Amino acid sequence: MNKDDLKNLVISDEEEREKQIHELIKGKRSLNINKELCKTLTLGERAADKIAKFAGSWSFLFFFTIVIIAWAAVNSKMLFDDPIDPFPYVFLNLILGCIASVQAPIIMMSQNRESQKDRLRSENDYLINLKSEIILEDLHMKIDEIIKVQGLLIKEVNGIKMEMNRNSERLMGGSDRENNTGAEEPKLYS
């Protein structure tokens, strides 16, 4: 059931509204957005997510620290007379710059997908809330109707009780006149 169907519930006639409310209750609205989006991910998007997950972890920081220390050790003048990349480590800076320039867009792609997931989650939450609101409104209307009918029934029962009391008094009053022969009155209560 989509948004338009939910909007139509508010203005439908009573029987149609009741039918649609029951259809709405039967239909499952909540979705697991993560599972739904995972079904549509391309190979590049999955790779970007894994790279972003690794690049934002402590493992990456420890790994890169070890790589830089190893690079500095291998390219120091203490170990080799003619290192590949001597002390200001210009080649290491070039590699780090290239990694950063490639890594940033990959992380941004992953973040954009997270934003898309958040938008889908909020839309799904809105639809669930709208469904709940419509169902609660319907229940509230039904309870109000039950209370109204109950009030009418109470008035009717009270009217019947009053009528029965009047009839009972009339019968009791009539039987007293008929039995007024000077004999003892019959006792109703002991």
In the chain, where are the structural domains located? 3-175
Average pLDDT over residues 117-127: 89
Span 84-98, pLDDT tens digits: 888 889 999 999 999
Contact 6, 130 (CB under 8 A): yes
Span 147-162, pLDDT tens digits: 999 999 999 999 999 9
Work out the number of other CB atoms within 10 angstroms of the CB of residue 48.
21
Residue 9, both tokens: 């519930």
Contact 62, 55 (CB under 8 A): no
